[in-house]
Amino acid sequence: MKILVTNDDGIFAEGLWILARELKNIAQVVVVAPDREQSAIGTAVTLSQPLRARRVKPMVPGVEAYSVEGTPADSVILALGKLITSKIDLVVSGINQGLNLGNDVLISGTVGAALQGYLRGFPALAISVASEDNLYLDNAAKVATLLTKKIEANSLGTSVFLNVNLPDLPLAKIKGVKVTRLADESHIDTVEEGHDGRRKYYWLVRQRIDKHTDDMTDMGVVEQGSISITPLHTYLNSKSPRIITDSFCSDLFQELQKNQR
Ligand code: MN
């Protein structure tokens, strides 16, 4: 088995290498990651300038590693399209230092990188931990290893895209593992204004919504001390397009034609 390991915290992030070290016990590992931290960059790809990749000395011996001057998504596209010539079986993105829950998956670089793998037909995992101080990254690496074994045994089927989040707890205090759906909300974004002496500036400030007791959601489950596994897919169509009907569309087209000069 050969695994592409990437992240959005950058090639020097501790979580990336703890993940690579653990996965190396059961598979061949290639690390291709951005040269710097790029959290919240989502699925962004670089189309307006060339991408450069550099083979770097790995922090785990025996791992092939590349640093990419690009986004997490760029790193995966480059890895799968050019840098790695042999067959890859799985893409794992993480371990992100900070949770990726609810609608934040839409801006998460960790999930964005996994998505690029999934879109190209590879099973993909995004793994994040609550901790900002890296106390329990090992737990996440172990979960990644176990999931990898299940994927290898083909017990998860062919279409795998999982968003995994762990609470900031030692293994003995973790209550369980639960399958979840994404919470409807995760953060409140506010804009703070300041002045640098010459010009006004703005900071987008994120505040996590805590109090999620719904134990079907990723936020609720992590808050209650369990590991959340959310199966994702890329179907963005609204399931209830009620208002936008065929007659709505033909009306719109008629109005458009009326305005023709
Ligand atoms: Mn990050």
Ligand 1 midpoint to CA 155 (Å): 29
Percent with pLDDT over 70 in the chain: 98
Ligand 1 midpoint to CA 76 (Å): 15
Cis ω before 95 (30° cut-off from 0): yes
Q: Say which residue the tokens 């900070």 belong to.
A: 98
pLDDT grade for 44, boundaries at 50, 70 and 90:
very high
Ligand 1 midpoint to CA 163 (Å): 14
pLDDT tens profile 78-107: 999 999 999 999 999 999 999 999 999 999
Compute the distance between CA of residue 216 and CA of residue 228 in angstroms, rounded to an integer: 9
Q: Among 83-92, 152-161, 197-206, which is the least confidently predicted range? A: 152-161
Distance (Å) of CA 196 to CA 35, 199, 239: 29, 6, 46
Average pLDDT estimate for 211-238: 89
Ligand 1 midpoint to CA 40 (Å): 7
Compute the distance between CA of residue 73 and CA of residue 45 in angstroms, rounded to an integer: 6
Ligand 1 midpoint to CA 180 (Å): 21
Left (φ > 0), alpha (ψ -120 to 50) or beta: where does 231 sit?
beta
* ∠ Cα 21 25 30 (to 5°): 55
Reduced to 3 states (helix: H, G, I; strand: E, B; else coil), residue 216 is coil
Ligand 1 midpoint to CA 56 (Å): 21
pLDDT at 226 over 70: yes
Amino acid at 126: A
Q: How many residues does the chain have?
A: 261
Q: For residues 137 and 169, is the Cβ–Cβ distance under 8 A?
A: no
Ligand 1 midpoint to CA 239 (Å): 30
The sign one gets for the Cα dihedral 81, 115, 127, 7 is positive
For ligand 1, a single-atom ion, the residues with CB < 5 A are 8-9, 39, 96
Ligand 1 midpoint to CA 10 (Å): 8
Task: Note the helical H segments in 80-230.
Answer: 109-119, 137-152, 218-223
Compute the distance between CA of residue 230 and CA of residue 218 in angstroms, rounded to an integer: 7
Whether the full predicted model's pTM is greater than 0.75, yes or no, is yes
Q: For residues 218 and 102, is the Cβ–Cβ distance under 8 A?
A: yes
